[in-house]
Amino acid sequence: MLPILKVAMPKGRINKPAIKLLQAAGFDIPDDLDDSRKLIITVPEARLQFIMAKPVDVATYVEYGVADIGVVGKDVLMEENRDVYELLDLGIARCRMSVIGLPDWTPLLNPRVATKYPNVASQYFRERGQQVEVIKLNGSIELAPLIGLADRIVDMVETGRTLEENGLVEMESIFEITSRLIANRVSYRMKNDIIQQLCDRLQAVIPGFETLKALK
């Protein structure tokens, strides 16, 4: 019998599309994984064990080898810079990382930038030779310019609804984000057959997956 693969699975927005994608690839997984409070869920039929993680921690679990593989946003990979293999672009949870501000923004000498992604933001402004003060927040980043904590924010934009409802504008898009399949370096060698098999099955369904979802 095949060994069980440990999968670090993000809770929240990526979870549902990731489960749907695995199901489309033929894995027999229940829809309601994220509804449970259980943190470790074994699905013997699929030979998978899910470690239900905070999205930002997925790459950490994989780097340390407590999960063999993981599903993680490119935003987290860019910010965390973990030592893992990036195996596949899953094409799900598509959004972008952007610089955002109030509509009446003016160029500032040393603007304050609030973000959940201090490394991404610092690198972006450093590369452009712009001095900024980065303020790390953990959520509701859009509040920062509204209440005068920061002049700009660097954050994810998906539908644009949060910006619209808070009167903010996207000033520049930094990079596109999709979810990626990552693997621990040792697991990738030791469990290569089973990981490769999973990749092949996912790869067969990825191209049509988002189109199919859009049609539903």
Q: Whole-number minimum distance, CB 32 to ligand PRP, in Å?
A: 20
CB of 116 to ligand PRP, least distance (A): 6
Q: Rounded distance, CA 170 to CA 180, Å?
A: 25
- Cα distance between residue 199 and residue 180, in whole Å: 11
Residue number with CB closer to ligand PRP (164 or 200): 164
CA proximity to 202, closest of 89, 126, 48: 89
Kindly tell me which of 95 and 195 has the beta carbon lying closer to ligand PRP: 95
Instruction: Provide the Cα torsion 155, 160, 162, 165; round to 10°.
Output: 140
Q: Which residues of the chain form contacts with ligand PRP (CB under 6 A)?
A: 139-142, 155-162
Name which of 55 and 198 has its Cβ closer to ligand PRP: 55
Residue nearest ligand PRP (C-beta atom) = 139
Q: How far is the CB of 206 from ligand PRP (least distance, A)?
A: 22
- Compare residues 68 and 155 and give the one whose CB is closer to ligand PRP: 155
d(Cα 92, Cα 97) in Å, to the nearest integer?
15
Beta-bridge partner residues of 8: 51, 70
